[in-house]
């Protein structure tokens, strides 16, 4: 059962509390057979409509369930597109991605983010990388070690891989990102800092 299924089951349990409708029971029973995050969302919305019809007088409970459903839509489960984050995350590994709350809390150093990067010919590609520097940070590499604001970073997730990079100061509104798999990853060492506005989500699990 995916994280989306578990959260949807909790939402439906709240919405259908004390509802004895056979339709409500069927919605919950069939949930495990629904595949895909958006399909789970649509199925959950159907269950909430059942709850609304069955419990018109209990609008506070249904409203709470609708809020929970909206919270569910803020998260998505997606596969890792490349080996840039190996061995931390392997190709095809499924991760829970926060697509909303990071816009309030902000992105911090060390966060693993889903980032859209322009290809230079009008297209885009999606990558998953670790944030090494935020606006105002100076990044350079000395003897294969990454330094931020003059201090060497402890990066056990690279498993000792040496890192080469050109010195740079991260501009306002930008992020400097690197993949954990330094030998194969294409990241800010190659295409420079990227706008924080191009972040589509923060990896949670």
Interval 36-65 mean pLDDT: 63
pLDDT value of residue 60? 57
Domains of the chain from N-terminus onward: 3-73 (no CATH), 77-203 (2.10.109.10)
- pLDDT exceeds cutoff 70 at 94: yes
140-190 pLDDT, tens digit each: 999 999 999 999 999 999 999 999 999 999 999 999 999 999 999 999 999
Q: How far apart are CA 142 and CA 27, in angstroms?
A: 58
What confidence score (pLDDT) does residue 30 get?
65
pTM greater than 0.85? no
pLDDT tens digits, one per residue of 169-182: 999 999 999 999 99
CB-based contacts of 203, cutoff 8 Å, min separation 6: 89, 95, 96, 97, 98, 111, 112, 113, 114, 128
Look at residue 28 and tell me whether its pLDDT is greater than 70.
no
On the question of pLDDT at 18 being above 60, the answer is no
| Residue 95, Ramachandran bin (φ over 0: left; ψ between -120 and 50: alpha; else beta) | beta
């Amino acid at each position: 059962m995916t994280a989306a299924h578990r959260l949807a089951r909790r939402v439906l349990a709240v919405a259908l509390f004390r509802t004895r409708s056979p339709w409500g029971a069927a919605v919950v029973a069939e949930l495990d057979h629904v595949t895909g995050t958006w399909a789970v969302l649509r199925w959950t919305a159907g269950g909430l409509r059942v709850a609304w019809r069955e419990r018109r007088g209990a609008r506070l409970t249904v409203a709470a369930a609708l809020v929970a459903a909206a919270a569910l839509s803020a998260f998505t489960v997606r596969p890792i597109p490349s080996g840039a984050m190996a061995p931390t995350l392997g190709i095809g590994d499924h991760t829970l991605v926060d697509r909303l709350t990071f816009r309030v809390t902000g992105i911090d150093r060390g966060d693993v983010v889903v980032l859209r990067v322009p290809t230079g010919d009008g297209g885009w590609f999606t990558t998953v990388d670790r944030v090494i520097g935020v606006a105002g940070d100076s990044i350079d590499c000395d003897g294969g070690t990454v330094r931020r604001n003059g201090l060497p970073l402890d990066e056990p997730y690279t498993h000792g891989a040496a890192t080469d990079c050109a010195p740079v100061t991260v501009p306002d509104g930008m992020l400097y990102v690197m993949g954990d798999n330094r030998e194969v990853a294409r990241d800010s060492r190659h295409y420079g800092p990227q706008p924080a506005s191009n972040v589509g989500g923060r990896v949670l699990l």
